[in-house]
Amino acid sequence: MSHNPDPVVSVVIPCHDYARYLPEAVSSILAQTFRDWELLIVDDGSTDNTVEVARSLIARHPDRRISIVQRANGGVSAARNTGIEAATGRYVLPLDADDVIAPTMLEKTVAVLDDSPGIAIASTDVFTFTDDDLPPQAMSLPAYSRELMLQRLIMFYCSLFRREVWQAVGGYDESMRAGEDWDFWVGCVEHGFDAHHIHEPLFGARNKDTGLHVEAAENDLAIRARIVANHPSLFKPITRGWARAVLGQDAENCLPDERVPDDILTRAAEMDHFLTAVMALQRTARVQHYHIQRLEKELAAHRHAAGSLAQEKDPTASAVSAV
């Protein structure tokens, strides 16, 4: 029996009731120019046909290392941890079931980690897309900075990292419903891991009106408090005290702006500005897309009317073409 060496990359896709999106996510993995990967689909207690869709995808691609792991519903952090625990690659890429990656994502991020032993994480810019055929919108992110990471989320969850990063940090915090990716990256800062950002949109995030990113935006200060409490050595004593109060019995009194420490309030304002800019970009793209569609319909109707008018003026034209 031939020995099958471990893959370089393990892609982990948690999926809870997203069977309708799963084939698109898997297709983006199959299209990678870098081929030495395995894919673990983690069914997080889905109530739809996620398991059937996953098994169908596995059966259709017997030459690829695709497997399914089933577990009781525990949330995205628990599902990611389960998948990474079962993974065998030296690099890990988390990918949610409703998102995609560009064909060269693995090729370019693997090259960063292979060429730079001191770099533990490779991130990229992002393109957002929707379900209503809007053109994708690219969004640039800043170069990696440990200080900036403590201020706001500058790196999306879908970034390639060395397996030992996950081991050192202790995995994703399974008690966090939202903001778990930011907490994980802050844990990387705490453990001294460095990252490199590729200024190219290689990760595709599906823009929806629902999802964990919406919950994170709506609970931004509470998530910040949890991150401060999880990594107290990185923050000032006054900030640690505020976080304890927010997570304790005095949350309502601590969330108004006048009670929030300056560093946290400034960071929250920066994140709010960032999210506002993203949503404005999406709204502009949507308006432009629908305007173009309307113009195309009007132009087609105009051409049809012009053609009908020409036939009325020259009835012999249709007769000649019929001969």
Task: Specify the pLDDT at position 1.
Answer: 36
With bands split at pLDDT 50, 70 and 90, how would you rate the model's confidence at 104? very high
Given CATH 1.10.10.10, say whether it is the number of domain 9-218.
Answer: no
When comparing pLDDT for 138 and 287, which is higher?
138
pLDDT of 2 > 50? The answer is: no
pLDDT digits (tens, 9 = 90+) for 161-200: 999 999 999 999 999 988 899 999 999 999 999 999 999 9
Q: What are the residue ranges of helices labelled H in the chain?
A: 22-30, 50-60, 76-86, 105-115, 146-151, 163-169, 180-190, 212-218, 220-230, 237-247, 251-254, 262-313, 316-322
pLDDT of 299 > 50? The answer is: yes
pTM, 2 dp = 0.79
pLDDT of 292 > 80? The answer is: no
d(CA 163, CA 181): 15
Rounded to the nearest integer, the mean pLDDT of the chain is 84
Task: Specify the pLDDT at position 321.
Answer: 46
Task: Specify the pLDDT at position 279.
Answer: 53
Could you tell me the residue ranges of all domains in the chain?
A: 9-218, 219-305
With bands split at pLDDT 50, 70 and 90, how would you rate the model's confidence at 322? very low
- Which range has the worst mean pLDDT, 67-81, 90-104, 231-245? 231-245
pLDDT of 310 > 90? The answer is: no
Bridge partner residues of 162 (DSSP): 91
pLDDT digits (tens, 9 = 90+) for 126-154: 999 988 777 888 999 999 999 999 888 89
Mean pLDDT of 101-113: 98
Reading the block at residue 308, the tokens are 């009908």
With bands split at pLDDT 50, 70 and 90, how would you rate the model's confidence at 205? very high
How much of the chain exceeds pLDDT 70, in percent?
76
Task: Specify the pLDDT at position 323.
Answer: 46
Task: Specify the pLDDT at position 47.
Answer: 97
Mean pLDDT of 112-119: 98
Radius of gyration of the chain (CA): 24
- Which range has the worst mean pLDDT, 30-39, 56-65, 237-246, 310-319? 310-319
pLDDT digits (tens, 9 = 90+) for 238-278: 888 888 888 885 555 555 545 556 555 454 444 444 455 55
- CA-angle at 286, arms to 284 and 289, nearest 5°: 110
Side-chain half-sphere of 302: how many Cα atoms within 13 Å? 6
Instruction: Tally helices (H) and strands (E) across the chain.
Output: 13, 9
91-94 and 100-101 as β-strands: parallel, antiparallel, unpaired? unpaired
Q: How far is CA 241 from CA 267, 284, 323, in A?
A: 17, 41, 90
pLDDT digits (tens, 9 = 90+) for 46-66: 999 999 999 999 999 999 999
